[in-house]
Amino acid sequence: MAGRCGQKTLGDKSYRCYFELALLVMGGKWKPIILYHLGAGGVLRFSDLSRSMPDITDRMLTRQLRELEADGLIHREVYRQVPPKVEYSLTAMGLGLYPLLLDMATWGMAYEQAQGGPELAPGEHYEPKKPLPLHPRYAEAALAASGSPNSGRNGPECTASRVSGTTTPAADAASTR
């Protein structure tokens, strides 16, 4: 059993362990979905995000985007033009979460299948049967963060292969150990 951690404060967040901090920053119903769509879609506008999540209100989407921006997970680019144009993209810190989001999506697919899966209505649109790969816009950043491809499994290079959705035979063998 883990020992009790002391209380820490980072900005407006109080937490006892790193796991709790991670959940404070990216947890909730909408933040992981927003981050997943930005990772798969690259640069998206507010309307793109809103269309990809039909159950979220504009007010909630705005709030979640502001929190993600304040926490340094997304970048908001405002173009001074008429009509105004605002685009959102992942920062390097947000990009680091994408492998976790892919793992969560894969787990969700396995869970759905283990539970018998939904009865699909003909003609309805459902997401693909595999998690969406990282948008090519982020490929260079993922490779830059990857480090040497010959270092250990737990090194930073595991991020790039997992983020890009590609694996090497060596990575596959290491993951089965």
Q: What is the DSSP string of 11-33?
A: TTEEESSHHHHHHHHH-SSSHHH
Q: Is 128 helix (H, G, I), strand (E, B) or coil?
A: coil
Dihedrals phi, psi of 71, to nearest 5 degrees: -85, 0
Q: Is 77 helix (H, G, I), strand (E, B) or coil?
A: strand
pLDDT (tens digit, 9 = 90+) per residue, 1-58?
A: 566 778 888 888 888 888 888 888 888 899 999 999 999 999 999 999 999 999 999 9
What is the set of domains in the chain, with CATH numbers?
10-108+131-175 (1.10.10.10)
Helices then strands (H, E): number in the chain?
A: 9, 5
pTM higher than the cut 0.75: no
Q: Is 86 helix (H, G, I), strand (E, B) or coil?
A: strand
Can you tell me the distance from the alpha carbon of 67 to that of 87, in angstroms, rounded to the nearest whole number?
15
What is the model's pLDDT at position 167?
Answer: 38
Q: What is the mean pLDDT of residues 132-159?
A: 58
